[in-house]
Amino acid sequence: MLDPRARRDLERAVGKERVLTRPADLAAYAYDAYGASGERRLADAVVFPTTTDAVSRAVHACAHHGLPVVPRGAGTGYAAGAVATRGGVVVNLCRMNRVLEVDPGRSRLRAEAGAVTAAIHRRAEAAGLYYPPDPGSATTSTIGGNVACDAAGPHALRYGATADHLCGATAVLGDGRIVTLGEGGDPSPLLPLLAASEGTLAVITEVLLRLIPAPAARVTLGARFAGMEGAAAAVAEITRRGIVPAALEFLDRSAVDAVAHAGVSDVEPGAALVLVELEGGDAAAVGAEADSVVEALEAAGGGAVSPASDAAEVARLWAVRKAVSAAVATIMVGKVNEDVVVPRDRIAELVARTEEIGARHAVPVVNFGHLGDGNLHVTFLVDPRRPGERAHGDAAAEDLFEAVLGMGGSLSGEHGVGTTKLAYAGRQLGAGGADLMRRLKSRYDPAGRLNPGIKLPAPTQAS
Ligand SMILES: Cc1cc2nc3c(=O)[nH]c(=O)nc-3n(C[C@H](O)[C@H](O)[C@H](O)COP(=O)(O)OP(=O)(O)OC[C@H]3O[C@@H](n4cnc5c(N)ncnc54)[C@H](O)[C@@H]3O)c2cc1C
């Protein structure tokens, strides 16, 4: 329950009509995409500032009243990071959604933090340029949320994640101070730290992004495989040939079956699918790479390999990949959705382990993701309405994390730690890594005001 004086100060900060405190209103902000099948927590208030100054005033008011601040974009996060797990005020950036400037001469784009990722793509494209990070949520997620999670997506394999395109930002610190970082501002080490900070170091209000020339040539190929061993062998062969595709994605057989079953996209069930996209400035060179990739896919046992012949065929291939999340949601109401990374040459082994783990806990599993990066979206399907089934899914996730850490992998490739992986983060980071993160947090947010309870393992959790 919000103190009336705190409410009054928040209303002064952002405007009376931009402060929500009724439980019925707060409920819509009590979860993110992860919480669609679980965790919910009401904030004391949700505020919708429209300028950096208003964010600063709101954060200052929270500091004055001792309230936690939870930055939030579109709430598409998969780690329950934009939820007020310890109460406090959700600062929702979605009304700061303008692309402010595109400078083709300098290949730069400046946008407010609540700008939707797809709007960034469109504005870059209209200027003949390219912003490669393309999370599957791009039509909804915000660029501030992308920075805070260092969002990646299929094309990160060649071009890197959001951090690799961030050259400046305006942000509000936990005491309400405004800082301008990077190009045209303070050369502070805080700028690179904002990427993947999950709202724990500052509220990002504006970003300056580096764009690249749009590729003149692109070839997209699909190939079907009887199992993941063949798909993994194809990746090894493509790598051995020195080719770095723009994207190298996969769906295992159960993911393809889910898409076919849900009827959300046109695909034959019964085989794993690998999708390769090659891009470059020279059509002949991209064509030669495509020929070499066809050979590599066929040598590894790939069937029905052929470059997409037209834009409609390219769109169909990507539609299958992008339909997986929605397809899975149509075959089961709940899911425990993980985002682990293992060395690329161990992907087939991990997929086999996930099947064993799913069978042991009696939860079906679907695997898909970024084959070229070793980043698997392992999805255990659960029906939370059945007693105990959510717990089976959580136990499967725990076994998965053990397996991944044992393979020298990482708990999250792109979705972040949030609260959902917090119990394991200490084990991955070790005592030294966790301590370093806590020291960085106390340097930039000494009062611990920003997103408490997220991302940082407590001292006792670090091994
Ligand atoms: C269908 C689907 C597909 C997805 N595919 C991908 C994918 O391919 N790749 C990928 O990387 N992710 C993917 N995601 C996850 C998610 O979309 C990303 O993590 C995205 O970056 C979150 O953006 P958001 O605006 O929704 O942030 P939110 O969910 O609102 O917040 C996420 C985190 O960022 C913090 N945050 C948000 N805005 C700010 C800000 N302005 N300043 C400081 N901190 C902030 C929050 O506190 C929270 O910790 C997918 C999600 C869905 C639902």
| Same-domain pairing of 169 and 308 | no
Output the CA 163–ligand 1 centroid distance in Å: 14
Is 459 domain-assigned?
A: no
Is 185 domain-assigned?
A: yes
pTM for the complete prediction?
0.94
| Same-domain pairing of 18 and 115 | yes
**pLDDT for 263 beyond 90:** no
Report in angstroms the alpha-carbon separations of 130 from 109, 123, 216, 357: 10, 9, 11, 40
Exposed, middle or buried: residue 262 (CB in 10 Å: 0-12, 13-18, 19+)?
middle
Is 463 domain-assigned?
A: no
Q: What is the mean pLDDT of residues 208-232?
A: 94
| Same-domain pairing of 176 and 253 | no
Q: What percent of the chain has pLDDT over 90?
A: 78
Task: For residue 161, give the ligand 1 atom closest to its CA.
Answer: 11
| Same-domain pairing of 48 and 195 | yes
Task: For residue 144, give the ligand 1 atom closest to its CA.
Answer: 41
Structure confidence at residue 462 (pLDDT): 43
Q: Identity (one letter) of the amino acid at 83?
A: V
Which residue from 436, 43, 416, 459 is spatially nearest to 197, judged by alpha carbons? 416
**pLDDT for 81 beyond 90:** yes
End position of a domain, from candidates 324, 351, 379: 324
Structure confidence at residue 385 (pLDDT): 85
Q: How many CA atoms lie within 13 A of 67 on its CB side?
A: 29
Residues with CB under 6 A from ligand 1: 32-33, 70-78, 81-82, 93, 113, 135-137, 141-142, 144-146, 148-149, 151-153, 198-199, 203-204, 325, 414-415, 418, 451, 454
Give CA–CA dist 199/87, Å, rounded: 15
Is 176 domain-assigned?
A: yes
Is 312 domain-assigned?
A: yes
End position of a domain, from candidates 278, 302, 324: 324
φ, ψ at 169 (rounded to 5°): -160, 155
Q: Would you say 247 and 276 are in contact if contact means Cβ atoms under 8 Å apart?
A: yes
* Mutation pick for ligand 1 pocket among 37, 96, 141 (CB with most ligand atoms within 8 Å): 141
Q: Write out the residue range of the structural domain in which residue 363 sits.
A: 332-406
Output the CA 266–ligand 1 centroid distance in Å: 28
Output the CA 35–ligand 1 centroid distance in Å: 13
Any idea what the CATH number is for the domain that residue 316 is in? Answer: 3.30.70.2190
Output the CA 29–ligand 1 centroid distance in Å: 14
Is 169 domain-assigned?
A: yes
**pLDDT for 372 beyond 50:** yes
Is 195 domain-assigned?
A: yes
Any idea what the CATH number is for the domain that residue 36 is in? Answer: 3.30.465.10
Is 112 domain-assigned?
A: yes
Structure confidence at residue 36 (pLDDT): 59
DSSP 272-288: EEEEEEEEES-HHHHHH
| Same-domain pairing of 138 and 250 | no
What is the tally of structural domains in the chain?
Answer: 3
